[in-house]
Amino acid sequence: LDDFFRFVSFDSHFRSSVLLIIRVDQLIGGGSLPYAHRRLEGMFETAHPDVPKENFPTVAQLRYFYEREYVRPERIRLRANKIEYQKDIRPLQGTATTGVHGPGARYEIDATIADIYLLSADRQKIIGRPTLYVVVDVYSRLIAGFYVGLENPSYVTAMLALVNAMIDKSQICQSFGYDIGAEDWPSIGLPDAILADRGELLGHQIEYLVQAFGVRIENTPPYRGDAKGIVERHFRTIQADFKPFAPGVVAGTTIKKRGGKDYRLDATLTLEDFTKIIIGSILHRNQSSVLVKYDRDPDMPDTLAPVPMNIWQWGIQNRSGRLRNTSESALKLALLPRQKVTLSDYGIQCFGVFYTCRELLASGWLHRTGQQRPGPFMAAYDPSVADIIYVFPDATKTDYWECSLTDRSREFRGRSMWELWDSQQQQRKSTAAAKLKERESKRSLENVIQETIQNAEKLRPSYFGESKTETLAGINQNRWEAREQERQKRRADNKPTEPKPKADVRYLTDQPEDGAFPDFLDDLFGDDE
Query: What average pLDDT does this structure show over 271-296?
Result: 90
Say yes or no to pLDDT of 498 above 80.
Answer: no
Query: What average pLDDT does this structure show over 116-139?
Result: 91
φ/ψ of residue 120, rounded to 5: -70, 170
Helix (H) or strand (E) holding 78: helix 72-78
What angle is formed at CA 366 by the lines to CA 365 and CA 367, rounded to 5 degrees?
95
Say yes or no to pLDDT of 92 above 60.
Answer: no
Q: Which of 303-312, 389-398, 430-439 has the lowest mean pLDDT?
A: 389-398
**Residue 394's pLDDT band (cuts 50, 70, 90):** confident
Can you give the pLDDT at residue 85?
62
Q: Is 438 left (phi over 0), alpha (psi -120 to 50) or beta?
A: alpha
Query: What average pLDDT does this structure show over 166-186?
Result: 91
Can you give the pLDDT at residue 64?
78
**Residue 10's pLDDT band (cuts 50, 70, 90):** very low
Buried b (16+ CB within 10 A) or exposed e, 482-499: eeeeeeeeeeeeeeeeee
Rounded CA separation 9/119 (Å): 69
CB-count burial class (<10 Å; 0-12, 13-18, 19+) for 185: buried
Can you give the pLDDT at residue 59?
81
Peptide bond into 376 cis (omega under 30): yes
Bigger pLDDT: 305 vs 213: 305
Percent of the chain, pLDDT > 90? 28
**E strands present in 345-459:** 347-350, 353-356, 377-381, 388-392, 401-405
Can you give the pLDDT at residue 520?
57
Can you give the pLDDT at residue 507?
56
Say yes or no to pLDDT of 437 above 90.
Answer: yes
Centroid of chain to Cα 277: 24
Q: Which of 329, 278, 336, 326 is nearest to 160 (CA)?
A: 336
Q: End-to-end CA distance of the chain, in Å?
A: 121
Is there a contact between 18 and 44 (Cβ–Cβ < 8 Å)? no
Query: What average pLDDT does this structure show over 269-294?
Result: 90
Structural domains of the chain, with CATH? 2-79 (no CATH), 100-252+260-328 (3.30.420.10), 336-419 (no CATH)
Q: Which of 312-316, 319-323, 386-390 has the lowest mean pLDDT?
A: 319-323
Is there a contact between 230 and 285 (Cβ–Cβ < 8 Å)? no
Bigger pLDDT: 84 vs 469: 469
Query: What average pLDDT does this structure show over 420-436?
Result: 93
Query: What average pLDDT does this structure show over 480-493?
Result: 87
Can you give the pLDDT at residue 12?
46
Q: Which of 154, 152, 161 is nearest to 113 (CA)?
A: 152
Q: Which of 203, 517, 438, 197 is nearest to 335 (CA)?
A: 203
Per DSSP, the three-state class of 50 is coil
Is there a contact between 256 and 262 (Cβ–Cβ < 8 Å)? yes
Can you give the pLDDT at residue 511?
55
Rounded CA separation 412/390 (Å): 17
Bigger pLDDT: 249 vs 230: 249
Query: What average pLDDT does this structure show over 477-495?
Result: 85
Say yes or no to pLDDT of 374 above 80.
Answer: yes
Can you give the pLDDT at residue 402?
92
Can you give the pLDDT at residue 490?
85
Strand order in the sheet with 216-219: 143-149, 131-137, 107-113, 193-196, 216-219
Say yes or no to pLDDT of 515 above 60.
Answer: no
Query: What average pLDDT does this structure show over 344-357?
Result: 92
Q: Which of 11-20, 224-233, 304-313, 474-483 has the lowest mean pLDDT?
A: 11-20
Rounded CA separation 197/220 (Å): 5
Alpha-carbon separation of residue 186 from 280, 330, 410 (angstroms): 16, 20, 42
Q: Letter for the amino acid at 115?
A: D
Say yes or no to pLDDT of 212 above 90.
Answer: no
**Residue 1's pLDDT band (cuts 50, 70, 90):** very low
Can you give the pLDDT at residue 529?
47
Can you give the pLDDT at residue 29?
42
Can you give the pLDDT at residue 445?
94
Can you give the pLDDT at residue 204?
67
Query: What average pLDDT does this structure show over 340-344?
Result: 91
**Residue 27's pLDDT band (cuts 50, 70, 90):** very low
Highest mean pLDDT among 84-98, 400-414, 459-473: 400-414
Rounded CA separation 207/1 (Å): 49
Query: What average pLDDT does this structure show over 214-233?
Result: 68
What angle is formed at CA 192 by the lines to CA 191 and CA 195, rounded to 5 degrees?
85
Alpha-carbon separation of residue 220 from 197, 225, 228, 231, 289 (angstroms): 5, 8, 8, 13, 28
Strand partners, 249: 116
As a whole number, the mean pLDDT across the chain is 80
